């Protein structure tokens, strides 16, 4: 019924348009036909006149009039001629045939004959008038006036109109009919294509059709591909908004992640590779102690590994690490629950120096962060980087229990490893996650080994970044430096025939469990404890910063903003305190040592300028803190300050939000942290703009509790739902879909092979 309505809605305007076109075209056509006939009659008249002229010249002058009349009467016998008159040069009628109207004088006839349309309406019908000299060589020659019957052309014109109307109507109906059929077919194809896309079938079907040479790029018919991407994005955004507004339909938690591993990944083995290990064994005064490193990567990946078991391969860097592993360099962790295996790799001093301190931290880290520290690239560091990547890749192959494990490669320390693993385990699903930003092609281009790094990374099945912006930068970099096929609509890059899906997966934290929350002190207790321990004023407005002591985190800019706050808003002198945790990191590098010294100097200067015996505006705690101490600080604070100059995501801001179940506290967040895209309810600032950061500190310190509650409630909803299990879950689900396709492809190819073998036999 709907389609009939659609057709009528389409047909009526089409018919109206055609009718209007016909109405406009007919008079035009009419005029053209008449002009054509008129020219025809003039030519014909000229011929008749010429014939008569020759006959007239042969007549003897005496017998002239009678002979002439007879001659003209014979001429009129032509059915189209109505009458003929012979006129003198002075327009006197010499004689005329019977049909020539008596009322028409030679002068009038001549005047009409000179018109463009020499037509005269008589009572007997319309005639065409032609006027021709008897002797064209003689200037004062007699003239012949011929009257042609115009009823024939008039009749033809009416016939032409009729045929035209019939023709236009038939043509209109034919065009409408064909259009409707084509539209119907396209509509059906389009609708079924869209349904398939919405059901997610597009990913599998083309593989079956093409026998396995297909990539993600072929997931929908070409004409629907741009639409498919848009629809998927809209669906994802809708899903995200729905989550934000109504809470989760099915929340992501360890159980759901385990379920996904059991079902979609059929319990396949998961191997994580990272430089930093999740647990470090250290020799202490009271024997061996276990420590959790200050690392965003470990914070995020550890809960995922707890949920999926498997093996984590990392550099064993602790002083008691060798003493705690078995003969295969393995140790079960976490120490209490032993959920998964940690396989340690030992690095020599040269290896650590070249691969980690040198190439990764002096080269790639500043290269990707573009934070005013020049990257240093040394040939010897590059050689170590390659060698260590190979050692870790070999360890992956050794730990793999099947030929197609799921390998999660973490961060910029292992850009070459994906291609190295791919070489030995072609069927492995390699998911590489780049935890830091990806710069634009020009910035990345300064690396002498840019092509090798890109080739290594494109050994991955899936390559993840925190934001779409980083994905875009990466794709543009590949476009600039490698010969690869880029399918923007499907976010895939095919290099040497092997596709890699480049996607954004914003990382997060594990939302605290009820058990964990029970161990937290109440915010008022936490405040009391912090004030006592750090000897802060009773009425202090406490801002907290928690970072690795790294130049990208904007600690210097934060200090400048605190100094400016105390100048601009003197009421905060004696009351405002920044408690800055700066966990030691990369102390072996001169760049870091210089930076850390500078922070100490600036802190001292501010404290001297505004401090008293009992008050210090900046408390710099440059040491590692345990998790509980951080929680206490987060819960004691009036605000948390994140001023990164460039940060892939930043987890500290999410930890602060998760810690504030009292819905109080204000988050100040740099717009250059990936997290700013997810957390707009924070006070988002540009850390390079000291005045803006200063005003944000003042605003946070004076924000009414109700506004704090509204902002914090919304932030909490986001962090709770967009947690680290969702991050891992989305990546693993994409991997699961990929593996499913691979299996189907292999099955189809095997059957095809078996079929042809049977035929040959
Ligand atoms: C990279 C990217 C991305 C800090 N001090 C201590 C301590 N920490 C913990 C924090 C937090 C983590 O370290 C730092 O996380 P970030 O996200 O700020 O940063 P990076 O280490 O630079 O991590 C970053 C992250 O990877 C994840 O992808 O977000 O953009 O740069 O968890 O709490 N933890 C302990 N003691 C400390 O003194 N225990």
- Band (pLDDT 50/70/90 cuts) for residue 261 is confident
542 lines ligand 1 (CB under 6 A): no
Token pair, residue 422, equals 């791919």
**Is the backbone peptide bond immediately before 4 cis, with ω within 30 degrees of 0?**
no
645 lines ligand 1 (CB under 6 A): no
Predicted confidence at residue 425, as pLDDT, reads: 97
98 lines ligand 1 (CB under 6 A): no
Choose one of 276, 299, 410 to mutate for the ligand 1 pocket test, by most ligand atoms within 8 angstroms of C-beta.
Answer: 299
- Using only C-alpha atoms, the chain has a radius of gyration, in whole angstroms, of 46
Q: Whose CA is nearest to atom 6 of ligand 1?
A: 294
- Taking the CA of residue 292 as reference, the ligand 1 atom at the shortest distance is 39
Choose one of 296, 413, 671 to mutate for the ligand 1 pocket test, by most ligand atoms within 8 angstroms of C-beta.
Answer: 296
649 lines ligand 1 (CB under 6 A): yes
368 lines ligand 1 (CB under 6 A): no
Per the CB < 8 A criterion, the answer to whether 142 and 94 are in contact is yes
pLDDT > 90 in the chain, percent: 58
How do 119-122 and 81-87 pair as beta strands? unpaired
695 lines ligand 1 (CB under 6 A): no
Task: Select from 511, 556, 523, 464 the least CA-distant residue to 651.
Answer: 511
Ligand 1 centroid vs 94 CA: distance in angstroms? Answer: 121
Predicted confidence at residue 115, as pLDDT, reads: 82
**Is the backbone peptide bond immediately before 334 cis, with ω within 30 degrees of 0?**
yes
Residues in the chain: 761
Choose one of 504, 548, 643 to mutate for the ligand 1 pocket test, by most ligand atoms within 8 angstroms of C-beta.
Answer: 548
Residue 383 has pLDDT above 60, yes or no: yes
Burial label, 202 (beta-carbon count in 10 A; 0-12, 13-18, 19+): buried
In angstroms, how far is CA 428 from the centroid of its own chain? 28
Ligand 1 centroid vs 329 CA: distance in angstroms? Answer: 27
- Taking the CA of residue 627 as reference, the ligand 1 atom at the shortest distance is 39
Predicted confidence at residue 214, as pLDDT, reads: 37
* Residue 597: its H or E element: helix 590-610
Task: Select from 724, 722, 666, 719 the least CA-distant residue to 697.
Answer: 666
- Taking the CA of residue 673 as reference, the ligand 1 atom at the shortest distance is 30
Residue 267 has pLDDT above 90, yes or no: no
- Taking the CA of residue 437 as reference, the ligand 1 atom at the shortest distance is 30
Residue 639 has pLDDT above 90, yes or no: yes
Report the C-alpha gap between 653 and 508 in whole angstroms. Answer: 10
* pLDDT tens-digit map of 728-737: 999 999 999 8
Report the C-alpha gap between 310 and 278 in whole angstroms. Answer: 14
129 lines ligand 1 (CB under 6 A): no
Quick one: 273-504 is in which CATH superfamily?
A: Glycogen Phosphorylase B; (3.40.50.2000)
Residue 360 DSSP one-character state: I
Task: Select from 631, 394, 646, 443 the least CA-distant residue to 527.
Answer: 631
* pLDDT tens-digit map of 709-722: 999 999 999 999 99
- Taking the CA of residue 651 as reference, the ligand 1 atom at the shortest distance is 17
Cβ neighbors of 728 (< 8 A, separation 6 or more) are: 257, 301, 304, 307
**Max Cα-Cα span within the chain:** 158
301 lines ligand 1 (CB under 6 A): no
How do 618-621 and 576-583 pair as beta strands? parallel
Report the C-alpha gap between 687 and 149 in whole angstroms. Answer: 97
Q: Which of 24-28, 135-139, 364-368 has the highest mean pLDDT?
A: 364-368
Residue 247 has pLDDT above 60, yes or no: no
* pLDDT tens-digit map of 568-627: 999 999 999 999 999 999 999 999 999 999 999 999 999 999 999 999 999 999 999 999
- Within this chain, domains 273-504 and 517-722 share the same CATH topology: yes
Helical pair 151-199 and 225-246, crossing angle rounded to 10 deg? 50
Give the residue carrying structure tokens 């009939």: 4
Report the C-alpha gap between 694 and 132 in whole angstroms. Answer: 104
Range name among 2-6, 62-66, 632-636 with the lowest pLDDT average: 2-6
Domain extent listing, the chain? 24-158, 273-504, 517-722
295 lines ligand 1 (CB under 6 A): yes
Ligand 1 centroid vs 586 CA: distance in angstroms? Answer: 14
Task: Compare 157 and 755 and report the one with higher pLDDT.
Answer: 755
* DSSP secondary structure letters along 271-323: EEE-SS-S-EEEEETTEEEEE--S-HHHHHHHHHHHHH--EEEEE--STTHHH
Report the C-alpha gap between 334 and 604 in whole angstroms. Answer: 40
Quick one: 517-722 is in which CATH superfamily?
A: Glycogen Phosphorylase B; (3.40.50.2000)
Token pair, residue 425, equals 């385990």
Residue 209 has pLDDT above 70, yes or no: no
Residue 205 has pLDDT above 50, yes or no: no
Task: Select from 128, 176, 168 the least CA-distant residue to 26.
Answer: 168
Choose one of 278, 279, 294, 592 to mutate for the ligand 1 pocket test, by most ligand atoms within 8 angstroms of C-beta.
Answer: 294
pTM for this entry: 0.70
583 lines ligand 1 (CB under 6 A): yes
Report the C-alpha gap between 416 and 453 in whole angstroms. Answer: 6
Choose one of 279, 295, 505, 675 to mutate for the ligand 1 pocket test, by most ligand atoms within 8 angstroms of C-beta.
Answer: 295
* Residue 430: its H or E element: strand 429-433
Predicted confidence at residue 468, as pLDDT, reads: 94
Q: By three-state DSSP, how is residue 36 classified?
A: helix
Ligand 1 centroid vs 124 CA: distance in angstroms? Answer: 108
Ligand 1 centroid vs 427 CA: distance in angstroms? Answer: 33
> CATH fold of 24-158, please?
Beta-Lactamase (3.30.450)
Cβ neighbors of 353 (< 8 A, separation 6 or more) are: 384
Q: Whose CA is nearest to atom 25 of ligand 1?
A: 296
Choose one of 510, 651, 667, 723 to mutate for the ligand 1 pocket test, by most ligand atoms within 8 angstroms of C-beta.
Answer: 651
Ligand 1 centroid vs 708 CA: distance in angstroms? Answer: 25
- Taking the CA of residue 648 as reference, the ligand 1 atom at the shortest distance is 30
Q: What Å distances lie between residue 243 and 249, 250, 553, 661, 663, CA to CA?
A: 7, 9, 31, 19, 19
Report the C-alpha gap between 47 and 370 in whole angstroms. Answer: 94
Ligand 1 centroid vs 296 CA: distance in angstroms? Answer: 3
Give the residue carrying structure tokens 């400016």: 564
* DSSP secondary structure letters along 166-232: HHHHHHHHHHHHHHHHHHHHHHHHHHHHHHHHHHTGGGTHHHHHHTT---GGGSS-GGGHHHHHHHH
Task: Name 378's bridge partners.
Answer: none
The torsion angles phi and psi of 619, rounded to 5 degrees, stand at -110, 100
Report the C-alpha gap between 737 and 739 in whole angstroms. Answer: 5
Q: Whose CA is nearest to atom 8 of ligand 1?
A: 294
Q: Whose CA is nearest to atom 7 of ligand 1?
A: 294
435 lines ligand 1 (CB under 6 A): yes
Tell me how many degrees the CA angle 201-187-11 measures, rounded to the nearest 5. 170
Helix (H) and strand (E) counts for the chain? 25, 23
Q: Whose CA is nearest to atom 20 of ligand 1?
A: 296
Q: What Å distances lie between residue 432 and 441, 459, 466, 558, 731, CA to CA?
A: 20, 9, 12, 33, 10
548 lines ligand 1 (CB under 6 A): yes
Q: What Å distances lie between residue 529 and 396, 511, 525, 589, 666, CA to CA?
A: 46, 24, 6, 35, 20
Task: Compare 226 and 742 and report the one with higher pLDDT.
Answer: 742
Ligand 1 centroid vs 653 CA: distance in angstroms? Answer: 10
* pLDDT tens-digit map of 449-473: 999 999 999 999 999 999 999 999 9
Ligand 1 centroid vs 557 CA: distance in angstroms? Answer: 19
Residue 318 has pLDDT above 90, yes or no: yes
- Taking the CA of residue 626 as reference, the ligand 1 atom at the shortest distance is 39
- Band (pLDDT 50/70/90 cuts) for residue 434 is very high
Task: Select from 394, 378, 409 the least CA-distant residue to 275.
Answer: 409
Report the C-alpha gap between 123 and 110 in whole angstroms. Answer: 20
450 lines ligand 1 (CB under 6 A): no
Ligand 1 centroid vs 289 CA: distance in angstroms? Answer: 21
Report the C-alpha gap between 440 and 80 in whole angstroms. Answer: 87
582 lines ligand 1 (CB under 6 A): no
Ligand 1 centroid vs 624 CA: distance in angstroms? Answer: 12
Choose one of 546, 621, 633, 724 to mutate for the ligand 1 pocket test, by most ligand atoms within 8 angstroms of C-beta.
Answer: 546
């Amino acid at each position: 019924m709907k389609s009939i309505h659609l057709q009528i809605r389409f047909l009526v305007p089409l018919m109206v348009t055609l009718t209007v076109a016909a109405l406009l075209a007919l008079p035009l056509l009419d005029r053209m036909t008449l002009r054509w006939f008129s020219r025809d009659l003039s030519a014909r008249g000229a011929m008749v006149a010429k014939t008569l002229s020759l006959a007239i010249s042969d007549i003897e002058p005496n017998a002239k009039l009678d002979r002439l009349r007879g001659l003209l009467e014979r001429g009129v016998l032509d059915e189209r001629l109505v009458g003929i008159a012979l006129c003198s040069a002075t327009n006197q009628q010499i004689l005329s045939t019977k049909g020539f109207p008596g009322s028409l004088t030679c002068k009038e006839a001549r005047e009409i004959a000179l018109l463009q349309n020499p037509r005269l309406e008589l009572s007997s019908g319309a005639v065409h008038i032609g006027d021709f000299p008897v002797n064209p060589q003689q200037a004062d020659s007699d003239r012949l006036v011929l009257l042609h019957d115009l009823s024939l052309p008039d009749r033809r014109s009416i016939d032409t109109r009729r045929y035209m109307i019939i023709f236009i109507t038939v043509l209109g109906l034919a065009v409408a009919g064909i259009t409707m059929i084509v539209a119907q077919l396209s509509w059906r194809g389009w609708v079924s294509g869209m349904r398939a896309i919405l059901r997610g079938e597009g990913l599998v079907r083309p593989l079956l059709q093409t026998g396995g040479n297909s990539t993600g790029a072929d997931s929908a018919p070409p004409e629907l591909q741009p639409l498919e991407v848009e629809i998927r994005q809209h669906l994802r955004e809708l899903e995200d908004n729905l989550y934000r507004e109504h809470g989760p339909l099915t929340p992501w938690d360890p159980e759901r992640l385990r379920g996904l591993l059991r079902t979609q990944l059929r319990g396949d083995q998961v191997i994580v590779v990272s430089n930093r290990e999740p647990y470090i064994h250290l020799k202490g005064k009271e024997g061996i102690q276990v420590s959790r490193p200050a690392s965003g990567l470990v914070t995020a990946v550890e809960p995922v590994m707890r949920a999926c078991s498997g093996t984590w391969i990392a550099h064993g860097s602790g002083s008691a690490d060798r003493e705690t592993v078995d003969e295969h360099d393995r140790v079960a962790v976490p120490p209490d629950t032993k959920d998964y295996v940690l396989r340690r790799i030992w690095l020599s001093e040269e290896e650590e120096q070249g691969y980690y301190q040198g190439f990764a931290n002096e080269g790639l880290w500043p290269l990707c962060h573009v934070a005013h520290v020049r990257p240093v690239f040394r040939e010897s560091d590059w050689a170590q980087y390659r060698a260590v990547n190979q050692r870790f890749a070999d360890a992956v192959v050794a730990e793999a229990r099947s030929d197609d494990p799921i390998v999660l490669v973490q961060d910029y320390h292992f850009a070459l490893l994906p291609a190295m693993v791919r070489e030995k385990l072609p069927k492995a699903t390699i998911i590489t996650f780049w935890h830091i930003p990806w710069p634009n092609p020009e910035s990345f281009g300064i690396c002498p080994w840019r092509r090798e790094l890109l080739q290594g990374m494109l050994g991955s099945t899936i390559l993840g970044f925190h934001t779409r912006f980083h994905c875009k930068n990466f794709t543009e970099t590949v476009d600039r430096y490698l010969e690869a096929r880029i399918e923007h609509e499907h976010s895939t890059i095919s290099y040497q025939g092997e596709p890699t899906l480049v996607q954004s997966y914003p990382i997060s934290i594990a939302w605290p469990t009820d058990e964990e929350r029970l161990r937290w002190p109440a915010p008022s207790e936490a405040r009391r404890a912090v004030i006592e321990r750090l000897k802060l004023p009773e009425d202090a407005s406490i801002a907290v910063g928690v970072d690795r002591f790294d130049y990208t985190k904007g600690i210097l800019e934060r200090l400048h903003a605190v100094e400016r706050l105390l100048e601009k808003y003197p009421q905060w002198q004696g009351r405002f305190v920044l408690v800055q945790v700066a966990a030691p990191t990369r102390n072996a590098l001169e760049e870091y040592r210089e930076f850390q010294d500078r922070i100490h100097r600036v802190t001292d200067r501010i404290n001297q300028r505004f401090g008293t015996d009992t008050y210090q505006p900046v408390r710099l705690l440059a040491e590692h803190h345990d998790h509980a101490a951080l929680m206490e600080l987060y819960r004691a604070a009036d605000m948390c300050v994140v001023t990164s100059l460039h940060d892939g995501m930043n987890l500290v801001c999410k930890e602060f939000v998760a810690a504030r179940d009292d819905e109080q506290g204000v988050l100040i967040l740099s717009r250059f942290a990936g997290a700013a895209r997810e957390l707009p309810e924070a006070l988002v600032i540009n850390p390079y703009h000291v005045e803006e950061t200063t005003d944000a500190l003042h605003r946070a310190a004076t924000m009414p509790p109700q506004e704090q509650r509204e902002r914090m409630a919304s932030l909490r909803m986001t962090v709770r739902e967009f947690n680290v299990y969702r991050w891992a879950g989305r990546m693993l689900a994409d991997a699961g879909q990929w593996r499913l396709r691979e299996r189907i492809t292999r099955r189809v190819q095997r059957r095809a092979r078996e079929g042809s073998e049977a035929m040959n036999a």
